[in-house]
Structure 1
Amino acid sequence: MKDQQELSFEEAMESLEQIVEKLEEGDVPLEEAISIYKQGMNLSRLCHMKLKSVENQLTEILNEDGQLESFTTVEEETP
């Protein structure tokens, strides 16, 4: 298995989903459940960091002159 830092977002999410399924089954010994839970929390942090990194990259876009420009989205209000 790859080091967690080397996992792609998709690989980390897939591993996290497998962990959740295993824990939801409820037939995991307590010590193993704690270890699996810790792995899941690490994967959750990794996914969060990867998403935050992408979000930071998307907040800056190139304008027509090739200069970096801050980019923000405006959420639409629902009537």
Structure 2
Amino acid sequence: MPRKKEPSFEEALARLEQIVGEMEQGELNLQDLVLRYSEGVTLANQCTQSLSRAEKAMDLLLQDKDGEAMTTPLEIEKEQGK
């Protein structure tokens, strides 16, 4: 069975904000509340991982011997089977 594609950072954040709004309204039954909470935790973890990858990419910005900014190519591995 194929895995669902991981949402982009922006998609995950938008859905997380939607979930928070739904939970704050206080109209969900307990089962739906637990499901939204679980989905929210998953999305929050995905956002954290995306931010970590972006931070690592930014860390590759270096200075050369003349003090000029240079970049080092970043090879981002696709996380599969996780």
Query: TM-score normalised to the size of structure 2?
Result: 0.70
- Please list the CA deviations of residues 7-61 of structure 1 after superposition, one character each: whole Å capped at 9, or x if unmatched: 1100000000000000000010001100110000000000000000000111012
Which residues of structure 1 form unaligned runs of 5+? 69-79
Aligned to 2:26: 26
Which segments of 5 or more consecutive residues in structure 2 lack a partner in the other structure? 73-82
Q: Which runs of 4+ in 1 moved over 6 A?
A: none
Matches within 5 A, 1:1-79: 3=4, 6-61=6-61, 63=63, 68=72
2:79 aligned partner: none
More helix by share: 1
- Bigger shift: 55-64 or 23-32? 55-64
Pairs aligned (count): 66
**TM-score normalised by length of structure 1:** 0.72
What is the aligned-residue identity percentage? 32
